[in-house]
Chains A and B, each alone.
Chain A
């Protein structure tokens, strides 16, 4: 657990980047620091590994004051991922991943073996091990950045907008893969972003920060979306809270029906040889592409799939993409979240 006790960062010119911040970030969870630029979220993150020293207050890592350990030793035990990747251009992918193990004195063989293992873990091909960062795409570089942070298996990961510079298509894939990875790794993650959707997708808890490092609300994403604590929070999250809430509900909780020969309103789903849905078809009508939802999808994905369907039904597939069935619109409606009550339960 990372605990911030009354932490303040004041610059010599009097600017208060972070003021009297108290925050508990539980072990094994992703805590998102969400806010617009200049709200002090990055400053907060960088005080944890002492890239910035707080003016006052105390930061504890599992009960131990981070200021009490030699700073380079502290940092070798904390993974760090940043937006611009920060990979060493003069080192190969494997050498980049092996940086912290090397600092810790691992032998070459072990460094290499660990690097290869991590290259696979973050979804890259092992033949990339001996390439230089300049030979990789932005998304691949970020994957290497994550692998590098994980190399010495640190319990804590600090991530500062790690997917912010990746193009939107690949960003989504990276976010989902990171979420899956974290499910297995159970690191204590502090994740800085200004992207509400990213925060909702990844955060076990979200701290919404206002200018000056003030926490406007701290809690699980459902709570922030369903019951924003202030106008600031409501405004920051934006006008589509209801829709965002849908992305917190898993798709597999909604029952599907198998598509019989008659289909739905005359529409059936044509599958390819592997049983994967190819298109919605109806005699006499042009084919319509299928937006299929996998088991790790959300209610929001189902709704999207249903809207894209001429039969107004979402298409469910399994992990391999094989057709399972369809979810009619009215079934979806039954699973929509209830409107938030204005008064708290007694």
Chain B
């Protein structure tokens, strides 16, 4: 193993890492912004849930590399096609978890809230969404990990990120570069997952309350 390589290329690795984080998180954020209204529509109008979920599922089945290539034709190369692709993929997870979380709110809780004089919007934000939060957090974790692994695929179409390390390392037969890519990707996924879990725990103390 050529350990000196890591020493000489630390700046490149860190640059790839920051680009990787950027692409993954921007996609996650966009995914949330789009999934939120879609989820609410699917929750309020039950008939819309099936078709909306089906659309996101069909989009999810398109192979990532193919989707990226299609998107290059539409928006050109760079980060944009990967960000759009990852946003589309995260929708299926985010929408489903939001809707399932909201649907799992006990009917007697909604009934009591209504009977106490909550109007619909306030009830949604003060009662239904907070109770759905654990499911939403679970969705965020899945989408985040999935985004981090898919950013690497983007390296094949020339987007930055840690995926470049695998490709380049493979081309010049440099195992240390490949291993660096793998280890840093896994570490990143774990770190972001921990962040989301921690944030979720802070927001939902009631889920851990014990007698």
21 contacts between A and B (CB under 8 A): A51-B111, A51-B115, A72-B117, A72-B119, A74-B117, A75-B115, A75-B117, A82-B108, A82-B111, A82-B112, A82-B115, A83-B108, A88-B127, A89-B206, A90-B133, A90-B206, A100-B116, A103-B116, A131-B209, A134-B206, A158-B115
Q: How many angstroms from the CA of A49 to the CA of B115 in the assembled complex? A: 7
User: Least Cβ distance of A115 to chain B in Å?
Assistant: 14
From known contacts A49-B115, A51-B114, A103-B118, infer whether A90 and B209 are also in contact, taking CB-CB under 8 Å.
no
Beta-carbon contact of A88 and B108 below 8 Å: no
For the complex with contacts A51-B114, A89-B131, A135-B209, 13 further pairs of A-B residues with Cβ separation under 8 Å are A72-B119, A74-B117, A75-B116, A76-B117, A82-B108, A82-B115, A87-B109, A87-B112, A89-B206, A90-B133, A99-B113, A134-B209, A148-B116
Tell whether B4 is near chain A: CB-to-CB under 8 Å: no
Count B-side interface residues using an 8 Å CB cutoff: 22
Q: How many angstroms from the CA of A84 to the CA of B115 in the assembled complex? A: 14
* Chain A positions within 8 Å of B117 at CB level: 72-76, 100, 103
Tell whether A85 is near chain B: CB-to-CB under 8 Å: yes
From known contacts A132-B209, A134-B206, infer whether A72 and B118 are also in contact, taking CB-CB under 8 Å.
yes
Q: How many angstroms from the CA of A194 to the CA of B209 in the assembled complex? A: 34
* Chain B positions within 8 Å of A148 at CB level: 116
Q: State which residues 64-94 of A face B: CB under 8 Å.
A: 72-76, 78, 80, 82-91
Interface residues of A (CB under 8 A from B): 49, 51, 72-76, 78, 80, 82-91, 99-100, 103, 131-132, 134-135, 148, 158
- Encoded as 1 (CB less than 8 Å from any A CB) or 0, chain B from 106 to 145 comes to 1011011111111100000001001101000000000000
Q: Is the interface of B mostly helix, strand, loop or mixed?
A: helix
Q: How many angstroms from the CA of A85 to the CA of B107 in the assembled complex? A: 11
Beta-carbon contact of A86 and B112 below 8 Å: yes
Q: How many angstroms from the CA of A89 to the CA of B205 in the assembled complex? A: 10
Beta-carbon contact of B108 and A85 below 8 Å: yes
Q: How many angstroms from the CA of A135 to the CA of B207 in the assembled complex? A: 11
* Chain B positions within 8 Å of A91 at CB level: 206
* Chain B positions within 8 Å of A100 at CB level: 116-117
Tell whether B1 is near chain A: CB-to-CB under 8 Å: no
Q: How many angstroms from the CA of A80 to the CA of B111 in the assembled complex? A: 10
Q: How many angstroms from the CA of A80 to the CA of B115 in the assembled complex? A: 7
**Residue among B117, B118, B127, B211 with most chain A CB within 10 A:** B117
* Chain B positions within 8 Å of A84 at CB level: 106, 108
Residue pairs across A and B with CB atoms within 8 Å: the count is 70
Beta-carbon contact of B209 and A86 below 8 Å: no
Smallest Cβ-Cβ distance to A83: which chain B residue: B108
Tell whether B10 is near chain A: CB-to-CB under 8 Å: no
* Chain A positions within 8 Å of B119 at CB level: 72
Q: How many angstroms from the CA of A88 to the CA of B146 in the assembled complex? A: 33
Beta-carbon contact of A88 and B109 below 8 Å: yes
Q: How many angstroms from the CA of A89 to the CA of B108 in the assembled complex? A: 11
- 8 nearest A-B residue pairs (beta carbon): A86-B112, A76-B117, A84-B108, A75-B117, A80-B115, A132-B209, A86-B108, A72-B117
Q: State which residues 156-211 of B face A: CB under 8 Å.
A: 204-206, 209-211
**Residue among B130, B133, B209 with most chain A CB within 10 A:** B209
Beta-carbon contact of B210 and A135 below 8 Å: yes
* Chain A positions within 8 Å of B127 at CB level: 88
Q: How many angstroms from the CA of A222 to the CA of B206 in the assembled complex? A: 47
Q: How many angstroms from the CA of A49 to the CA of B112 in the assembled complex? A: 11
Q: How many angstroms from the CA of A104 to the CA of B108 in the assembled complex? A: 22
User: Least Cβ distance of B130 to chain A in Å?
Assistant: 5
User: Least Cβ distance of A114 to chain B in Å?
Assistant: 15
* Chain A positions within 8 Å of B131 at CB level: 88-90
Beta-carbon contact of A132 and B114 below 8 Å: no
Q: How many angstroms from the CA of A78 to the CA of B210 in the assembled complex? A: 32
Q: State which residues 37-73 of B face A: CB under 8 Å.
A: none
Q: How many angstroms from the CA of A86 to the CA of B118 in the assembled complex? A: 14
Beta-carbon contact of A86 and B211 below 8 Å: no
User: Least Cβ distance of A112 to chain B in Å?
Assistant: 18
Q: How many angstroms from the CA of A87 to the CA of B116 in the assembled complex? A: 11
Smallest Cβ-Cβ distance to A84: which chain B residue: B108
* Chain A positions within 8 Å of B106 at CB level: 84, 86, 89
Q: How many angstroms from the CA of A314 to the CA of B192 in the assembled complex? A: 71
